[in-house]
Amino acid sequence: MGVKLNVNGDVVDVDVSGDTPLLWVLRDHLGLTGTKYGCGGGYCGACTVHLDGAATRSCQLPVSTLQGRAIQTIESLDQRHPALVDTWTNNNVAQCGYCQSGQLMSAAALLDGNPKPTDADIDAAMTGNICRCGTYVRIRAAIHQAAGHQATGSAE
C-alpha cells in the first residue's frame, strides 16, 4: 500500500505492505539507518524514534497507522538537541554505539518533557533501552550534563 509519512519534517511516500514496522521502512526504504534493529519485540529500545514527540519503539509500529503522525529519528537530533549530541560525544558515552541512537532518542524525549530530570526520572525514562556494553553510568551523567547546558542555553 502507499503511505504518506512525515519523517524529520519531510513528507515522503512509501509503497510497502501496511503491516511493515516503521523500523524497516526507515532502514530499508528511506535509507535512515541510524535507527537500529535490536530485538524486534520492543524489549531493547535500539529502534527508538519520536512519534508526535514521544519516545516509541519503531519495531512495534505498523506503518499503516502512521499517516499524518510526526516521526523524528536520530538523524534529526543534531538540529533539535545539539547539546545532547555534543555531551554524548565529549563524554565518550558510546562504546560499540549500536544502542546509542535509541538511548539518545529516549534521553531527548525525557528532556523535552522534563528539563531537569533526577536520577530516578532518568532511570524511569531510560529503562526500556538496553546497553550490552554497559554505558549506563555515562548515560546518566551525560543527561544531567546536557540538562545543565539546556537550562543555561549553552551548547558546548
Partner 1 sequence: MMNTITNLSPEFSRRRFLGVSGVLVLGASLPVRRALAQTPAGTFEPSLFLAMDGQGTVRVTVHRSEMGQGIRTALTQIVADELDADWSRVEVVQAQGDVKYGDQNTDGSRSITQNYDRLRAAGASARLMLRQAAANRWNVKVDDVAAANHEVVHAASSRRLGYGELATEAGLLPVPENAPLKKESEHRYIGKPVIHVDAGDIARGKGTFGADYAVPNMATAVVIRCPWLGGGVKSIANKPMNEPGLVAIETLDAAPSAGPLFAPLGGVGVVAEDTWTAMRIAQGLDIEWTGSPNQTFNSDELRQALRDAVAKPGTPVPGSEKGDVDAVFAAGGTELSATYETPFLSHAPMEPPVAVADVTEERCVLHAPLQDPQSARPLIAAQAGLTPDKVEVTPTLLGGAFGRKSKPDFALEAVELSKRVKRPVRVQWLREDDIRHDYLHASSAQHHRAVIDDEGKPTAWLQRSAFPSITTVFAAQAVQPAPWELEMGFSNLPYSVENQRMESTGIRPGARVGWLRSVCNIFHAFSANVFADEMASAVGRDSIEHRLALIPASGKLKQPGQPAPPGHELDFGRLRHVIERVRKLSDWDKPRPEGVGLGFAVHHSFRSYVATVLEASMDNGRPSVSNAYVVLDCGTYVNPDTCVAQMEGAVVFGLSLSLYGDISMKDGAVVQSNFHDYPMLRIAEAPATKVELVPSQGRLPAGVGEPGVPPVAPALSNALFAATGTRHRTLPIRT
Q: How far is CA 26 from CA 14, 56, 112, in A?
A: 10, 14, 23
Pick the closer one to partner 1 by CB: 10 or 123: 123
Nearest of 55, 58, 61 to residue 19 by alpha carbon: 61
Pick the closer one to partner 1 by CB: 10 or 78: 78
Euclidean distance between CA atoms 55 and 112, whole angstroms:
10
Pick the closer one to partner 1 by CB: 6 or 33: 33
- Residues forming contacts to partner 1 in the complex (CB under 8 A) are 16-17, 19-21, 24, 27-29, 31-41, 43-44, 46, 73-75, 77-78, 85-86, 88-101, 104, 122-124, 126-127, 129-141, 145, 156
Q: What are the strands, taking DSSP E only, across the chain?
A: 2-7, 10-15, 48-51, 54-57, 70-72
Pick the closer one to partner 1 by CB: 14 or 70: 14
Q: What's the min distance (Å) between Cβ of 94 and partner 1? A: 5
Q: What's the min distance (Å) between Cβ of 19 and partner 1? A: 8
Q: Which cell numbers in the block locate residue 19? A: 503491516
